[in-house]
Structure 1
């Protein structure tokens, strides 16, 4: 069901630069003069959204900022890197004073560590927040206003074991996605159904992968209010850094589906900035590709491979998108080093992933050390600067009216991204305030080549995986492996499927897919 355009509230104040193609409002009047929020053009490119995407509020002063105490539940809180950043953002957000945060995880030790650290961090800052912990997810949902799900049921070490198995069968760095998502699909659906039953007015902010597949699944099969988040869109900041541009003067849009977003709008001081990129490629690109040594495994935004994708389609792929585009970039370690640079060849190689996991392990060790030493000032260890993550600002917008523009994953109701079915979740910008989530149609549609070659194949893969999960049809898992370009024969695919299903710990998966 869709809402009428006059259900959308006015916005207040100035929009961030990356949203300045939308009219700002003050007291219901357009800054251009005369247009009210009920007018067709109150938001440029505004489209209706599903009723599930609107948080109904009996008050009419949607955008009068006001602080209130809220209950936030964090599922998968044992993830140290994410939870630490979340704690910092919560403690440094004045409007959330007096709020209650419940951490949920199945790992009691990690859960206790992050809760203890959060309490100390909050005390040092004088933040009026209360933290509790539990392993009982349903109890944690009682009274919740917001739920952040960052849980990964099996984790990095399980994924490594699957990759080692696929490598033994002739695959280079490959995990069957449809098969691998089973546990997270089940958890996501269980959480969304629990929310329907226990706290139906709460917002679920899905922050763990697979965001695209999982948010589509939950939106189709529950009435929970769901926002999916990823941080890949910040790839535009990496571009700005290399190009020497001031990010505050950049206007950008990067629509698509999660892990397949493309920079359709890239402007600097109101002018097309793609010529700046073209000049850099011509004058500095070859030297950069030959000399740049990444200090992070995910530092690939200006790599030779990404620029090759840009030349192919006429738009820059952003964030995680290059990791999933073009099988020919990902055939071997030497190939990946050529396309994505030294020393790791991007994040998806046998030498990069251990580095990434070790960084996470070091963060856990840092938490353990801090929690064991009460003399340590945790604010000095972990800093007092907000992260770039969107979870807390979105909560502040929905709960307190501190409105803003955000890159979110939401149902394509009304055709936010042209050419994709309305019940598929897309990633694009939305204006968020106490009235809800208001999608904004991108100024420029994705070109045919990007839709045909990159976006729609990802949609098809998602649909196959969801159908396999919902029906338990093992044939769809086989088709998923056969569709992988690293597969060389039917027998290889069939052997891989049966071998992965027979892995210790996969008994439930094998029983589900018949």
Structure 2
């Protein structure tokens, strides 16, 4: 019997890698897997390797752990590839915020849509293309489990530009939204029956029930009683659209034109402009703390994270059926969203792999927002596939928050400045400046 091999691409995202490893080793059947770590940063790779060995020892697991500066060596013979790369790291993220801010564009997270999401995608696509080529050559049967944002754009690019078919994007937003909603209404999560569908970071809770009865009336009563709840973007969206969105208010504010462009709404809904920059700094601090603790021989405790990737690995390896939420191409899964765009739906996972579930049509008001999101994504993916820099500008013209903040001439000027700033990370054909 061959040993299951799991390759971590971008393993230097040590805190996230640690959580995934703790989840993997919690399964008895996965305690002897081969963990192949890859990162282009030697120090981070060494830290990831040390953390992996510590977690295995702490949990009584006996995996094979290898570290590779060469990506193909890590991928050779892999059964699963977990992609957690962030191209450009903290410096590129700061650029994604600082330049748009000078134009008056407010962002909170900047990793999905908007200026930040578009340029994060464009600097990630070249990596995804070369990664897919390596997978096709050295582990063609592997499942690629993508965590890298912008999730929907990256999965669409992978499935349309590279030819890979065993691709699923994984995000914890549906799971944690339902945990939080269950706690809010006072019902144990394990007793809640729910269904969500839509797009990543903008899916909708279509069913929220306990013992056959909807929990939405209980949520409505809580919102009515608590003015502070009404000062959250996604509560505001829920009250107007009728279905609760599955991502935080900070995220949700960026995918619509109604909030970030208005100072009074930023104040009313307590939106933390530039919040992701603090998160990035905190991630770096956590990495450095982990690195130093390992070096001093006093490694930090690591808890499991309930992430989907370890569950996928376990289900495929053991045949244990379970349902997760995955990001996959829309091939008849949501009938009133564009075909080929990346949608987030329930997926059955077992020995046959990841099998998405068709959910029919979304409520029309929810589908209207998702269609705009997917149309913008499609333009970004086309920019890369067609090597057409005009598509970048057209994508941001279609982006709700950017279009609400700027006239079209300024959008093109902003794109030129962003292209200059990120030029060394973009494919050559997209580095052109077009003027306004």
For residues 421-440 of structure 1, the C-alpha deviation after alignment (integer angstroms, 9 at most, x for no partner) is: 44222111011100222222
Q: Tell me, what secondary structure is at the counterpart of 1:393?
A: helix
Q: 1:331-346, aligned counterparts within 5 Å?
A: 331=261, 335-339=265-269, 341=270, 345-346=271-272
Larger displacement relative to structure 2 (356-365 or 316-325): 316-325
Q: Tell me, what secondary structure is at the counterpart of 1:286?
A: coil
Segments of structure 2 that go 5 or more residues without pairing to the other structure are 108-113
Q: 1:98-497, aligned counterparts within 5 Å?
A: 98-173=32-107, 175-221=115-161, 222-233=163-174, 234-283=176-225, 285-288=226-229, 303-320=231-248, 322-331=252-261, 335-339=265-269, 341=270, 345-346=271-272, 349-350=273-274, 352-374=275-297, 376=298, 378=299, 381-383=300-302, 385-413=303-331, 415-442=332-359, 445-452=361-368, 454-483=369-398, 484-497=402-415
Q: Distance in 1 between matches of 2:19 and 2:263?
A: 32
Q: Distance in 2 between matches of 1:96 and 1:450?
A: 39
Q: Distance in 1 between matches of 2:5 and 2:296?
A: 29
Report if aligned partners of 1:468, 1:476 keep a CA contact under 8 Å in 2. Answer: yes
Q: 1:127 to 1:326 in 2, by over 3 A?
A: same
- Which of residues 418, 421, 424 is equivalent to 1:500? 418
Q: Which residue is equivalent to 1:88?
A: 22
Report if aligned partners of 2:93, 2:116 keep a CA contact under 8 Å in 1. Answer: no
Larger displacement relative to structure 2 (494-503 or 272-281): 494-503
Alpha-carbon distance, 1:394 to partner: 0.6
Alpha-carbon distance, 1:367 to partner: 0.8
Normalized per residue, which structure has more helix?
Answer: 2
Q: Under a length normalisation based on structure 2, what TM-score does the superposition of the two structures give?
A: 0.90
Q: Distance in 2 between matches of 1:389 and 1:508?
A: 30
Q: 1:480 to 1:393 in 2, by over 3 A?
A: same
Alpha-carbon distance, 1:69 to partner: 2.5
Q: Which residue is equivalent to 1:42?
A: none
Q: Tell me, what secondary structure is at the counterpart of 1:328?
A: coil
Q: Under a length normalisation based on structure 1, what TM-score does the superposition of the two structures give?
A: 0.77
Q: 1:133 to 1:332 in 2, by over 3 A?
A: farther
Q: Distance in 2 between matches of 1:421 and 1:207?
A: 23
Q: Tell me, what secondary structure is at the counterpart of 2:104?
A: coil
Q: 1:244 to 1:68 in 2, by over 3 A?
A: farther
Alpha-carbon distance, 1:368 to partner: 1.4
Q: Distance in 2 between matches of 1:481 and 1:68?
A: 48
Q: Tell me, what secondary structure is at the counterpart of 1:388?
A: coil
Runs of 4+ in 1 over 6 A off after TM superposition: none
Report if aligned partners of 2:376, 2:396 keep a CA contact under 8 Å in 1. Answer: no
C-alpha RMSD over aligned residues: 2.1
